[in-house]
Every structure is written in C-alpha cells, then in structure tokens.
Structure 1
Amino acid sequence: MALRHCMVLGFSLSVAAFSAEALELVAAGNHGAEQPPVPGASSRRTSAGGTTFDAKYAKIYGLLESDAALRTKIRKAAALFGIAPIHVIGAIVGEHTYNVDAYDHLQTYYVKAVSYLESSFSFSHGGESLASFLERPQFDLCDEEAGSHEVWSCREAVWDKAFRGRTVEGKRFPDDRFSAVFFQPFYAGQTFGIGQLNPLTALQVTDMVHEVTGLEKLDYGDAQQVYRTIMNPDITLYYVAATLKKAIDAYADIAGFDISSNPGLTATLYNVGNPETRAARLATENRLRRKQGRAPKLPKVNYYGWLVNDKQEELEALLADS
C-alpha cells in the first residue's frame, strides 16, 4: 500500500492510497433515527430573522424547483467534476436551511456579484494585509507545497498552530478560524452566494477548477475577483462541485470509504470543512479499532447532512426532469 506523507508543523499525515476494490461503501441514508442537535447559533439566527428551518428549506426548495436553468447548471458542474448532482443540491439546501435564507430569484445573486465590481476592500486584519501576513517566516514551509489546495491548507494549519488565539511579536490574534479573521472584510457571517462558499475554500480549489474548466485562477491579492466568483452562480457552482469532489476523494484516499452514495456525508463535510484532517482522524481511529478486533467506525453526518439524507428522495425529484 503506497503512502503519501504531508508534514505540517511537525505532524506527519500518512495517506494510504486505497484501491477502488478496497473501499468500503457507505450506503445512502441516515444511520441514526434522530437528527443530531442543531447548533444554538443557527437557531438564534433563524429566530432573529422571523422564520423557521422548515420555512427556509421550503424557500430554497422552491427556488430550485422553479428555476430549470439553475438545475441545468448544477448538473453541468457536477458532471465536469465527476460527482452526482444530488451532492451539489444537498450542499446548497443545507446552507440555505441552516445558515442564510435564500433569495427569491436567482437574478438577485447576479446583482450581488456585480456590486463587487465597484467595491473597494482587501483581505486583511488589524491593518495588516494578508499578503504581508503571509510573508511572516512561520509560513515559509508552505512555499514548498505544490498546488493551491496544499498551499492554503498548509497556511490554515500554520494559522491554527502558531497564531490563533496567541500573541505574536506583540500582536494579539483572535481565537477564530483563519477564514473568519482574514477573509471576511465586511462583517462576520456575511453571505457568499448560492453555495455560501467561503473565500478560503474557493482559493483552495482554484487550481482544480482551472484545470477542469479553464477558468482563470483566483488571486488572493484581488479580493473583488474572489468575491465576484463566489457570488456568481455561473461560476461558483464549479467551486462547490470541486469542493465536494475533494471531500469524496479525501475519504477514499485517506480513510478507505466511498461516500459518493451518501449526499448527507458530503453535505456535512461541505459544512464543517477540513475533510482531509477529518478523514485522517477516522483512519487513525479505525486502525486502532481493527487491532482491537472491533468493527471500523463509519463516517457520521451532522444535523445539516442528516436533513439532506432525510430529504434525499424529494431533492432527487428536482433532478428528474430532462
């Protein structure tokens, strides 16, 4: 079995290259009868908006149901990245049910994207630009990585280990995610288009999207370009599909699970992020369980993925038309 090693801040991640025959298929559907608890922040945000999760679900479902062109774009994006379109549908539905409410018409997303053409902003924190921040010596090891996914994953790991919640050279950094500190120039929790895609996530998969679609690569020095991309439905759907494909590949390559038949799992990973790290943790746990003569632990959905699996039949119905 071939192994790939990734060194980040002294930690070694061994990635096993599983053959297709060795993968354990995770069947469709939920393996638990009850939905995991919804975080309080999501509940409070929904209540503050004078709505409910059921109403938000109905709204995004209605948008998808009424817009055949959008469904065609979803199918196209999924096909280009070799995944079933239900994964893209699931990610979109989950985001708009538990995070922000959907707009009534797709055209609104285009209008929002165009608004960034004349906006003046950059990725920065506390008066320090992201470009300047990444010149700090702690990030030098990331220059050895090849590809946008590896580089930005390394930078995110460096942030978590060396800066998050710490005081470095007299400057105190927030105890928050890298993406929240440097990639939300307006306010925390701002919307990111129909896929609710995080700018950092988009930067991670930009090489993959460029290779598959030929679209221009994203440049973190051009924050407007990044935001226009993730706000434009014609483009961001490719980034959504690429992100989901990355998650499916991570669980196959690292943990030995084929999760491509379970859209709730891919939706969960789209929601929580860091699929490689999560797959590695699961692989480590299952190696120990096998040594103990116990059955391996299956990947689990969160509240967000549970909904997608629970609604899979009616979500699939959206894709039934030609």
Structure 2
Amino acid sequence: IRKEAAAYGIDPMHIVGAIVGEHTYNVDAYDRLQTYYVKAISYLSSKLSFAYDGEDISDFVQRPEFKKCAGMTDSYDLWECREQVWNHSFRGKSVGGTSFPNDRFGATFFQPYYAGQTFGLGQLNPLTALQMSDLVHKVSGLPKLDVGDPNTVYKTIMDPDLTLAYVAATIRTSIDAYKSIAGFDISDNPGLTATLYNVGNPEQRASALKAENDKRRAAGEPEKLPEENYYGWLVNDKLDELKALF
C-alpha cells in the first residue's frame, strides 16, 4: 500500500480508506486476503465474457452510436465516453429490437455472475480497471488490459499484488478531477476519496459541483463543499486508528 501510494503521489490513507470502506460495507467475511490469491488463479481457467444478451462488448461498442469515441486513445477517456453513450442512447431503452436494462454500463456488461458485483481487495468493477489501464501501464509498468480478454482482467483485479495499482490510480484520478474541474483540493481528505471510490464517476460529480457553485456565486450564496457518504464518515471517524497501522 505504501509503495503504490508513493508511485501515484497520494497519502496511503486514501488506499486504506477505500479498502476499509469496501470491506466494511460491501463484502462478506469470507473474503480474506488468502482467498483473493486463490480466486485470482481460478479466474484464469474460467470461461468469462463481457456481454449482454449474447452480444459481446467488443461488438457492442462497434455500433454507430459509439462513433464519437472512436478517435480516443487514452483508456480512461475512451471508456468514459462509451459509458456516456450507454447512458444517453441505450440505458433503459429498446434499440434495434433489444431491450437494455436501466442499469449502469459496468453492471450490465462487465459482471458475468450477477449485476452490481465487484471484485478483489479493492472491490473493483472491471470497467473501472479498464478505464485505469493506461495510467497503471504508464506509472506501474503493468501490461495494458484488453476488453477481449476478460479472464486476465479478472485475474488482475483479484490478485492483491496487482489490484492495488488500480485502486491507487482510481483515487489519483478522483483527486485530479476535483482539483481541475471543481477547484477543490481533496488530497488531505481520505473520507472524500473513499466516498468517490464507492460512488464512481468523479468527473461528472466534480462538474455537477462546479455548476452548483457557479450558480451559488452568481446568487451571492456560500459555496457547496464536497460531501462524504457513509463510507467517508467511517473512514474519517476511524482515521487515527488507521494511521496508527502505518
């Protein structure tokens, strides 16, 4: 945890907070560190696919609705764009004779066992891992993830030695988004980064906060600050205990 935090220029408490929050609220007691190593190996031999109603994600993103994403090379921008297209053009709609659920992109295509499932020490969604692939490749030197190879994506997420880089990259992305978009430095608040780790979509949330504060400023009202959810409250409440471990 210390090593990955240093690599991504964040306080280790951000990673600790994300893991503690996820394992307090999101995982049953059977998932211990040792079982993650065992599961990581088992995912390599399973027959996994990223698909919905028989349509593989690799084919799905070739649909014309995704044309605006085609020129994007960075993995974060590419998958963020595809997620926006999903929300705008497919989510909860019937397109070309197929009815699509009113659910998140990641829950619909990227969880072969049941919707809403996350994996590993950092309880990552495979879509988040795919988004972070280029940043992790650049900073940690890990191989880029391929959406056409779901087994390796799951193996990476499940392996505690690999997944922490993706946890750190996800947190770094949230911190950068809030600084550059909303003008808030959240790098000293593990409760906020744990909250964003839990709810996702940091850029959209930072943009919404900026829009709200633009309105407030115009009306002469005090600005709205970023807020923690119950994950964040737990992390900040227990921060002294967590710091003592490091």
TM-score (norm 1): 0.75
Residue 103 (structure 1) shift: 4.3
Asked whether 1:217 is paired with 2:144, we answer: yes
Where does residue 34 of structure 2 map in the other structure? Answer: 107
**1:64-79 aligned within 5 A:** 74-79=1-6
Asked whether 1:132 is paired with 2:59, we answer: yes
| Contact persistence 2:13–2:190 (CA under 8 A) | yes
Residue 117 (structure 1) shift: 1.5
Where does residue 253 of structure 1 map in the other structure? Answer: 180
Counterpart of 2:140, as a letter, is T
Q: State how far apart, in whole Å, the 2-side matches of 1:269 and 1:305 are.
A: 9
Percent identical pairs in the alignment equals: 65
Where does residue 27 of structure 1 map in the other structure? Answer: none
Counterpart of 1:80, as a letter, is A
Asked whether 1:241 is paired with 2:189, we answer: no
Residue 121 (structure 1) shift: 1.5
Where does residue 148 of structure 1 map in the other structure? Answer: 75
Q: Deviations over 1:258-297 (max 9, x none)?
A: 0011100000000000000000010111111111112211
Which ranges in structure 2 are unaligned for 5 or more consecutive residues? none
Q: Deviations over 1:39-80 (max 9, x none)?
A: xxxxxxxxxxxxxxxxxxxxxxxxxxxxxxxxxxx1111110
Q: In the alignment, which of 195, 199, 204 is matched to residue 268 of structure 1?
A: 195
**1:167-186 aligned within 5 A:** 167-186=94-113
Q: State how far apart, in whole Å, the 1-side matches of 2:70 and 2:192 are.
A: 32
SS in structure 2 of the partner of residue 144 of structure 1: coil
Q: State how far apart, in whole Å, the 1-side matches of 2:64 and 2:212 are.
A: 34
RMSD, aligned α-carbons = 1.0
Residue 313 (structure 1) shift: 0.7
TM-score (norm 2): 0.98
Moved over 6 A (4+): none
| Contact persistence 1:100–1:191 (CA under 8 A) | no
Q: State how far apart, in whole Å, the 2-side matches of 1:102 and 1:179 are.
A: 24
Q: State how far apart, in whole Å, the 2-side matches of 1:104 and 1:202 are.
A: 20
Q: State how far apart, in whole Å, the 1-side matches of 2:184 and 2:114 are.
A: 37
Residue 190 (structure 1) shift: 3.4
Asked whether 1:228 is paired with 2:162, we answer: no
Change (3 A) 1:153 1:78: same
SS in structure 2 of the partner of residue 258 of structure 1: coil
The number of aligned residues is 246
Asked whether 1:295 is paired with 2:222, we answer: yes
Counterpart of 2:94, as a letter, is T
Q: Deviations over 1:180-223 (max 9, x none)?
A: 01000122343400100010000001000000011100000000
Q: Deviations over 1:220-252 (max 9, x none)?
A: 000001000000000000000000000000000
* Greater strand content: 1
**1:301-312 aligned within 5 A:** 301-312=228-239
Q: In the alignment, which of 123, 127, 149 is matched to residue 200 of structure 1?
A: 127
Q: State how far apart, in whole Å, the 2-side matches of 1:254 and 1:103 are.
A: 39
Which ranges in structure 1 are unaligned for 5 or more consecutive residues? 1-73
**1:5-84 aligned within 5 A:** 74-84=1-11
Change (3 A) 1:191 1:286: closer
